[in-house]
Structure 1
Amino acid sequence: MQKNQVLLIVSSSLVFALTACQPPSDKTAPEADTQTTTDQSSQPLAEAKTPKELTKALVKLSEDTLKEQLICSKLEDTINTIDNKSEIENIHAVQHQLTACLPVADNTQILQWLTEYQAMYQRFLSVNSTNSINNVNSATDNRALYALMRTIEQDQKITVAQLKEVSPRVRYLVSLIRSGSDVHVRYLGEGDYEFYHDLTAMADIFIPYLPEDQAAFVQRMAKDNQEIFWFDTAIAFSFEELVERTVFWEDFIKHYPQSIFYNDAESLFNMYRYLLFFGSENTQWTDKEIRNFYDSDNKRLLLKLAKRPNNELAKNVQDFFTFMEQSDAERLTQYPIPDKDENGGEIDERNITQYQLNEALNLSSPWIATQDRNCLTGIICVDKDAQ
């Protein structure tokens, strides 16, 4: 896991590495791109020396403008036709159209293309039962696919026999990996693998044409979601990175209260903050009684957070340390255990400490706000029912 300092504003010198699957986009500012395009397309007008040459130049300029407008008006349809039967050349065609259309599009249109482009890549890399080699024995097909994906993920040699046992679509995606395209394989845990691609390369296409807050949001999402979030119900990254992400999103919602991404950023902050104190089913930062950290470095990081002035997260951390130092009797006095929980069920003795900590911190569950939105796989959040 990378452990970089939090960045709120996208640096003008930011450069993303693009591979064969996503060729480099022009990093020049949108205004400069538009001006360059205009100067080049207007050059024949300046060179025209007779009325006839001027007329031809005007006609040519009108034809080019209409052609560009037509291409851009059809771009969304072109993106939506790409699925898990398409080839990489289809994506390259979309990228070339975006290069021409992004400099002249408004923000609403750019965000729509970004959303469609993200969904396009998910379709392109998806492998499901319809890709099965014969759809007769899915269990056998799944085992063959699993074995092949494991071989690729472990950077071992792929055999001809392995390729013959999987679908043509899987073989095609494997060929992209072998050719150095922006397609890779990773293990998700619990026996699942997936094909994935470079989110920073995707973000790089759109960032030059987004306002500051949106560019900062997309950049951070691309960085955080490049790797998996969960691994067998454990948090798949370090406590230090969890702290960094939590601080970033708190700073974001303070710095950009009018951002179109404010609600998603707030949901991310609440989720990361909750995990900072409660961990997950297979990730705990302290002992069961919440009195001692398993790793002293984690305590050091939280102590540093607690010193941030006039800060909501710092106050949460201070309350957390206060709770850690309380005796059982003090906790029971301050946070008595009710007969029933909020759902009407009995509170299990194993959950008493967690219940009391929740009362001490007074944090609402982040899972309600995130149950219908997916913010953990792409460069923007999307409704889960739309995926």
Structure 2
Amino acid sequence: MSTRLSSILASCCIVLLLWLLFACQQPTEPQVKIEAAETNAQKNTSAEDFSLMCQNIEKQMAEINDQRTTFALEQINQNLKVCLPLLDHQQQKNLMKHANQMYERFLKVERTPAQQHAFEQYALEMAQHPTIQQSHYAELTARDQYLLKHKGQAYVELIDLGENQLNYRRSPEYLARVFAPYLPEAEKVFIETLAQQNQEPVFNQERLLIEPAEIAARIMVWEDYLERYPKSIYRKDAEHLLQQYSYFLFHGLEQKPISQDYRDRYAVDSQYRETIVGLSKGNEGGISSQAQRFLEFLDMDEEQRRQTIPKELRNSPVWEQIAAYADIPVPDPNYKKNCFKDAICI
């Protein structure tokens, strides 16, 4: 009897335990549903926040002017990195245009002649003696004081082109880092290439600031670009850059040509001559063919030149004769864009 009672009690305990276990587990299912609902709500809120931010970003960019801070610029640039992958190509290009205008407004400084002189003197002294307190600082505009203090932030730079040509600019790296990753390949490559080339000034009023070998390398880069991306929206700018660098290599600057008379190859600056000779040994076509014919012309005597060049060019300057013989394109002096300042031609 006692054995039977024990069995009954044991069975009751088991049933009770199972009931308690079931009762304890019952609230779990609704809790999971609540947590999942909260997570989905958070995701929807984040998506809505991003959508609203991207809708308003053009308005925010338009509000940037010469009274705003680098912090405001940095905030917009961070938002651009979020929004650009979500936009179509035309919207991306539109924001790039607004970004150009935004920085133009931000870097604009109105100065009197005295303030302009103080700015040039201060910036020059800062470049030569960066650890010395400059005497001209108090004479600067409040905006100059702010921009000089915060240069290096939000892609803001001070560039020195010599001959007191000091100015602020947006770093070429800006478009390469903020916009290029989300653009079609041809545009991405153009922007990243030009950003790298324009990190430092290419020339000032007096001379070219890059070596002939680097000029030749850039010529080949733009030849290759035009071959790889014949339908690029930047094709005309790439052609202009190719013409400019070819002109620099075979002629130099107007103020400082590579030769005064081109009477023979030894009348050409030695560094340029060596680079051109090296290029002439390459495959036929493009810059190699131009280098070969350039040297051919220099090796001719007066009579050979007279017989070779067209009659209409016989009384022209010798450079024009060389350009025609070697098929060296002369860049359009009235080209409306500056291709040596930013990562696009402005």
Q: TM-score, normalised by structure 2?
A: 0.81
Structure 2 counterpart of 1:353? 318
**Structure 1: tracts of 5 or more residues without a match:** 1-46, 133-137, 342-346, 383-387
Structure 1 counterpart of 2:204? 231
1:186–1:195 Cα contact (<8 Å) kept: yes
Are residue 204 (structure 1) and residue 204 (structure 2) matched? no
- One of 101, 117, 136 as aligned partner of 2:99: 117
2:173–2:196 Cα contact (<8 Å) kept: yes
1:151–1:157 Cα contact (<8 Å) kept: no
CA drift of 1:355 comes to 2.3
Root-mean-square deviation (Å)? 2.8
Are residue 247 (structure 1) and residue 247 (structure 2) matched? no
2:198–2:342 Cα contact (<8 Å) kept: yes
- One of 55, 58, 81 as aligned partner of 1:73: 55
Classify 1:297/1:362 alpha carbon distance in 2 versus 1 (closer, same or farther; 3 Å): closer
* Whole-Å separation in 2 of the counterparts to 1:156 and 1:59: 54
* Whole-Å separation in 1 of the counterparts to 2:155 and 2:84: 22
1:337–1:352 Cα contact (<8 Å) kept: no
CA drift of 1:194 comes to 1.1
- One of 208, 213, 219 as aligned partner of 2:192: 219
1:234–1:281 Cα contact (<8 Å) kept: no
2:123–2:166 Cα contact (<8 Å) kept: yes
* Whole-Å separation in 2 of the counterparts to 1:309 and 1:172: 53
2:249–2:272 Cα contact (<8 Å) kept: no
2:125 aligned partner, one-letter code? T
**Highest relative contact order (Cα 8 Å, sep 6+), 1 or 2?**
1
Classify 1:214/1:293 alpha carbon distance in 2 versus 1 (closer, same or farther; 3 Å): farther
- What are the equivalent positions in structure 2 for 1:334-345 lying under 5 Å apart? 334-336=308-310, 338=312
* Whole-Å separation in 2 of the counterparts to 1:322 and 1:264: 30
Structure 2 counterpart of 1:103? 85
Structure 2 counterpart of 1:40? none
* Whole-Å separation in 2 of the counterparts to 1:48 and 1:118: 51
* Whole-Å separation in 1 of the counterparts to 2:85 and 2:31: 27
- What are the equivalent positions in structure 2 for 1:157-196 lying under 5 Å apart? 157=131, 159=133, 161-177=135-151, 182-196=155-169
* Whole-Å separation in 2 of the counterparts to 1:354 and 1:279: 11
1:233–1:281 Cα contact (<8 Å) kept: no
2:252–2:258 Cα contact (<8 Å) kept: yes
- One of 245, 253, 258 as aligned partner of 1:285: 258
Q: Percent identity?
A: 23
* Whole-Å separation in 2 of the counterparts to 1:223 and 1:303: 27
- What are the equivalent positions in structure 2 for 1:287-366 lying under 5 Å apart? 287-291=260-264, 292-336=266-310, 338=312, 352-366=317-331
* Whole-Å separation in 1 of the counterparts to 2:173 and 2:212: 23
Cα-to-partner distance string for 1:310-330 (whole Å, 9 max, x where unaligned): 422211111111111111122
CA drift of 1:223 comes to 1.3
1:189–1:231 Cα contact (<8 Å) kept: yes
CA drift of 1:57 comes to 4.1
- One of 223, 241, 245 as aligned partner of 1:272: 245
Are residue 153 (structure 1) and residue 127 (structure 2) matched? yes
Which of structure 1's runs of 4+ aligned residues deviate more than 6 A? none
* Whole-Å separation in 1 of the counterparts to 2:31 and 2:162: 66
Structure 1 counterpart of 2:32? 49
Cα-to-partner distance string for 1:237-258 (whole Å, 9 max, x where unaligned): 2211111111100011011222
CA drift of 1:280 comes to 1.7
1:254 aligned partner, one-letter code? E
1:71 aligned partner, one-letter code? M
Structure 2 counterpart of 1:33? none
1:153–1:187 Cα contact (<8 Å) kept: no
* Whole-Å separation in 2 of the counterparts to 1:83 and 1:318: 52
2:175–2:191 Cα contact (<8 Å) kept: no
1:90 aligned partner, one-letter code? A
2:171–2:342 Cα contact (<8 Å) kept: no
2:64–2:102 Cα contact (<8 Å) kept: yes
Cα-to-partner distance string for 1:15-53 (whole Å, 9 max, x where unaligned): xxxxxxxxxxxxxxxxxxxxxxxxxxxxxxxx9832x55
Q: TM-score, normalised by structure 1?
A: 0.73
Structure with max Cα Rg:
2
1:199–1:378 Cα contact (<8 Å) kept: yes
CA drift of 1:191 comes to 2.4
